[in-house]
Structure 1
């Protein structure tokens, strides 16, 4: 069985790993081609999303990369900015850029230019782009989550709009599918928060920990204990949060079955988030287990298999 022309995967006999090869020739960030810039940014910042997007239909793939590049750009502001004030300024730039894009005056930035170009072919809702930015602005000022409900709301606002926009680009208009996208966004957002904990701990900044305070209190876990590498009680915290992500993931799986076969690849991100939650369970919900930071070298094969059989 042959792979699609977009992505080829081969096995290394020496190490038994899957090597990802694409037909695209990626250029540096100075590339003058907005579409290539968007694709390259997603490849560098979100490996799993990059692989999933490669397997989208031809008529959706380019705009999907633009949407994901926009989200990656605003999502990493907090990581690349030296302080919250500068982060706020950069997020404000993107908030204003959305207004300019929809006013036919996009700023001289490849992501903005590519989204503006896409608007001539696709009807994409401005509020979804705005939510991707405002959710980050809010989180940049408040930090952390008081409750798991607040964590879910942030996940819905910072991830789900990506799927809403891609569904719009694909011409999918269905309330049930939108619900599936909402649940998948929550599952990914919650899971991403968990995955970020070891990185934040390495920076020794308890203010950035994305673990709901109410959940920590109910399990009598202090931020100091997390900064020291966690304990058995923190595993219970992780289990509770991961279980919430799993509930949303299962709901997304169930609702996504109503998608037409040709549109199913939009929900391929179900595969990597499901894989991480399974590995987390195998690690006994120890977020600091080093195996959780390893890349799944067989993910390209799993994604292609899921696409062919239209099932996750």
Structure 2
């Protein structure tokens, strides 16, 4: 009979035990497979049956976990709702306001969700007036809804109303709760769009006021998000809002219907002897139309230059908020090269170089 040392015996015993454990593991996996196709691991079964001494401790531990489950599920639900609302606002701005979407992406991370919430609210309000031509009553009801929702977002118990069910309002409520925003600017964004679509601007001052109430109000809110309080910053935001608003009205003329009034003020049309029909036709050889568009575009360019003259006095964060000036300047330059023909392909299609120019301006802290 062969004699084995104690070391050899321990090695043989370990190998035999490992082989037996592996074989038992395979068998237990086959035996413990349930009807749903789920397999209980051997390690879990062993842990559950380690000993009677630990059974009570495990039961208490599992009870604590079960007590924490409802709270964890509620927290996860809230976080999913917040993420959905933020993504919804981003998608809305990307689809309907692509240039400002690119500018907002370059804002600091802490300001981005709130900025997208404000821009999404602006998009929803502007979309509400799209039915004014065919269904003016429906457009009024939509605007009334958004106007009343502003007060709901400023209420402390807004979660009990319909605000929590609307992703844009839910994000706006969160933004209002985390920042001190002026309710007046939000209201102006809504009331300015109550203007009938067939009502023309009489003077250039009326055109400036409309641009100030829509675009400049949004810029003032974005400045308030940053926490900057400066008269020069507010002055620059007002000029940039007017420049951006007037430019957007010019860009909308080729897409306007026959029942809509042209955004060129009546005093400009009378001065050059041009009708609204000639503006809509936008004939390349019509010098009167060119002069009218030139005069309106020059007003927008003047406000843009005044904004850029204040650049040295602007804080670094505010310069990023004013990045929409890049897109405004790009369109006015393309319009100038096209001899103020609104239907020129370069003025109608999307600017493919805008992302690069925005990034370039960000590197040098300009707008």
TM-score of the two chains, using structure 2 as the length reference: 0.73
Contact 2:282 2:289 in 1 (8 A): no
Query: Which range moves more in the overlay, 286-295 or 167-176?
Result: 286-295
Task: Give, in angstroms, the shift of residue 208 of structure 1.
Answer: 2.7
Contact 2:331 2:347 in 1 (8 A): yes
Match of 1:204 among 258, 277, 300: 258
Looking at structure 2, the residues matched to 159 and 59 of structure 1 have their Cα atoms a distance apart, in angstroms, of 22
Task: Give, in angstroms, the shift of residue 168 of structure 1.
Answer: 0.7
Contact 1:52 1:269 in 2 (8 A): yes
Partner of 1:175: 231
Task: Give, in angstroms, the shift of residue 223 of structure 1.
Answer: 1.5
Instruction: Provide closer, same or farther for how the CA distance between residues 141 and 288 of structure 1 changes in structure 2, counting only shifts above 3 A.
Output: closer
Structure 1 runs (4+) greater than 3 angstroms displaced: none
Partner of 1:155: 211
Q: Secondary structure at the match of 2:193?
A: helix
Match of 1:126 among 176, 183, 186: 183
Calculate the aligned-residue CA RMSD, in Å.
Answer: 1.7
Q: Secondary structure at the match of 1:119?
A: helix
Partner of 1:283: 338
Contact 1:256 1:267 in 2 (8 A): no
Q: Find out whether 1:35 has 2:86 as its counterpart.
A: yes
Task: Give, in angstroms, the shift of residue 291 of structure 1.
Answer: 1.7
Partner of 2:145: 93
Partner of 1:310: 365
Instruction: Provide closer, same or farther for how the CA distance between residues 163 and 173 of structure 1 changes in structure 2, counting only shifts above 3 A.
Output: same
Q: Which has the higher contact order (CA 8 A, sep 6+)?
A: 1
Q: Secondary structure at the match of 1:87?
A: helix
Partner of 2:295: 240
Looking at structure 2, the residues matched to 197 and 218 of structure 1 have their Cα atoms a distance apart, in angstroms, of 19
Residues 35-67 of structure 1: CA deviation (Å, up to 9, x unaligned): 111111000001100000000011111111011
Contact 1:87 1:140 in 2 (8 A): no
Match of 2:202 among 111, 132, 146: 146
Q: Find out whether 1:109 has 2:129 as its counterpart.
A: no
Residues 75-119 of structure 1: CA deviation (Å, up to 9, x unaligned): 122225642211111001100000111123252311111011122
Query: Which range moves more in the overlay, 141-150 or 110-119?
Result: 141-150
Looking at structure 2, the residues matched to 140 and 110 of structure 1 have their Cα atoms a distance apart, in angstroms, of 28
Q: Secondary structure at the match of 2:221?
A: helix
Partner of 1:274: 329
Gapped runs of 5+ residues in structure 2?
1-80
TM-score of the two chains, using structure 1 as the length reference: 0.85
Match of 1:44 among 68, 71, 95: 95
Where is the helix percentage greater, Structure 1 or Structure 2?
2
Looking at structure 2, the residues matched to 48 and 249 of structure 1 have their Cα atoms a distance apart, in angstroms, of 17
Residues 228-247 of structure 1: CA deviation (Å, up to 9, x unaligned): 33421011000000000000
Contact 2:253 2:280 in 1 (8 A): no
Work out which of the two has the higher radius of gyration on C-alpha atoms and give 1 or 2: 2
Instruction: Provide closer, same or farther for how the CA distance between residues 228 and 301 of structure 1 changes in structure 2, counting only shifts above 3 A.
Output: closer
Partner of 2:250: 194
Partner of 2:62: none
